[in-house]
Amino acid sequence: MLHLTPDHVAELDAAVDAVLSSGKRLQDIDFADFTLPTLSDPLLEAGQEAQFGRGWALVRGVPVWRYSRQQQLAAYWILGLHWGRAVPQNAKGHLIGHIKDIGHDPKNPLTRLYATNAAQPWHNDGPADLVSLLCLSDAEEGGDSGWSSSISVHNEILRRAPHLAAVLAGPWFFDRKTEVPEGKKPFFEIPVFNYHKGYLSVNYSDNYYHLSQRHAEVPKLTAEHHEAMRLFNELASGPELSLRMVLRAGDVQLLSNHTCLHYRGAFRDSPAHTRHLLRLWLSPPNDRPLPECYAEIMAGSVAPGKRGGIIIQGAAPNIPEEAE
């Protein structure tokens, strides 16, 4: 865990000022536009911990409570540059997303749940190597965050039910929820457990597997598929393999999508306390090798640094100031 010191915060303030006075679009900012003399190395180390260590890192003390929205976005972009290239998160091309309840119907199976106040079950954000969240403000009630080791879930399934581990390493079909790149089908095939060049990478989201059943071309989920999902969710939720916390203003989480699952509890906002987080999907230049099946979820490329994102024709990459 990295707690920002007063010196770190002063450096970040100066970097934010430099970025906002540069005249550049935020998405065009790179390391040449600012300096963090003592903070850059700890941020790079946090990225390495998420990629190659325990699978997650936590940064605390970003002074979002005294920043304007533009300053919040600039500070987060500066942090994210240390962890990889930001990639689009939706059909609108958002490079920084807003995780906030904006009234979308969570009962509509095509709704992406980050725009609601509903619980999000255990999953990883498939179209990126790393996912990060910066908390701007928390809810009146609920909204806890959970992390779980997908590698440990794999190992426990292999120990308890090797036949289900084999099912999870077989074909699974993933729905695109209407965010369909040009020339692609509205679903694709990718296993949950992926073994490649000495690495195990896990891709899991039962919501998207169930939704894929609306397509006539997709094979029906079997009893073994349902049994595998039940055991996977049970293990991911267990106290032995997971931890839960409430992100507070100024907290930044960074997770590997290949080794770490995450969860969000349902929440209730009030006029005084509205849950609002910023999100980055990131593609580091040195991440693990991935099998070719990941090209379907990684915008057509499995080359480190060049993969990830939801690429829709006509959607130019952009950074909105508010949730859309």
Give CA–CA dist 151/139, Å, rounded.
Answer: 31
Q: Is 258 helix (H, G, I), strand (E, B) or coil?
A: coil
Picking from 267, 261, 219, the residue whose alpha carbon sits closest to that of residue 238 is: 261
**Exposure of 85 in the CB half-sphere (CA atoms within 13 A):** 17
- Sign of the CA dihedral with 96 first, then 100, 102, and 105 last: positive
Give CA–CA dist 113/282, Å, rounded.
Answer: 20
**Span 253-303, pLDDT tens digits:** 999 999 999 999 999 999 999 999 999 999 999 999 999 999 999 999 999
| Position 126 confidence tier, pLDDT thresholds 50, 70, 90 | confident
| Position 51 confidence tier, pLDDT thresholds 50, 70, 90 | very high
**Span 243-253, pLDDT tens digits:** 999 999 999 99
First-residue to last-residue Cα distance in the chain: 32
Give CA–CA dist 18/40, Å, rounded.
Answer: 16
- pTM, 2 dp: 0.96
- Hey, what CATH topology would domain 2-146+245-288 get? Double-stranded beta-helix (3.60.130)
Residues 175-200 as b/e (b if ≥16 CB within 10 A, e otherwise) read: bbbebbbeeeebbbebbbbbeeeeeb
What pLDDT, on a 0 to 100 scale, did the predictor assign at position 264?
Answer: 96
What pLDDT, on a 0 to 100 scale, did the predictor assign at position 110?
Answer: 86
What pLDDT, on a 0 to 100 scale, did the predictor assign at position 109?
Answer: 84
If phi > 0 it is left, if psi is from -120 to 50 it is alpha, else beta; for residue 84 that is: left
**Span 161-202, pLDDT tens digits:** 999 999 999 999 999 998 999 999 999 999 999 999 999 999
Quote the percentage of the chain above a pLDDT of 90.
96
The answer to whether residue 227 scores a pLDDT higher than 90 is: yes
**Span 67-101, pLDDT tens digits:** 999 999 999 999 999 999 999 999 999 999 999 99
Domain chopping of the chain, boundaries = 2-146+245-288
Q: Is 297 helix (H, G, I), strand (E, B) or coil?
A: coil
Tokens of 149: 């080791």
Give CA–CA dist 72/23, Å, rounded.
Answer: 17
Mean pLDDT, the chain, integer = 97
Give CA–CA dist 220/238, Å, rounded.
Answer: 28
Higher pLDDT, 109 or 309: 309
Backbone torsions φ then ψ of 159, nearest 5 degrees: -75, -45
Quote the percentage of the chain above a pLDDT of 70.
100
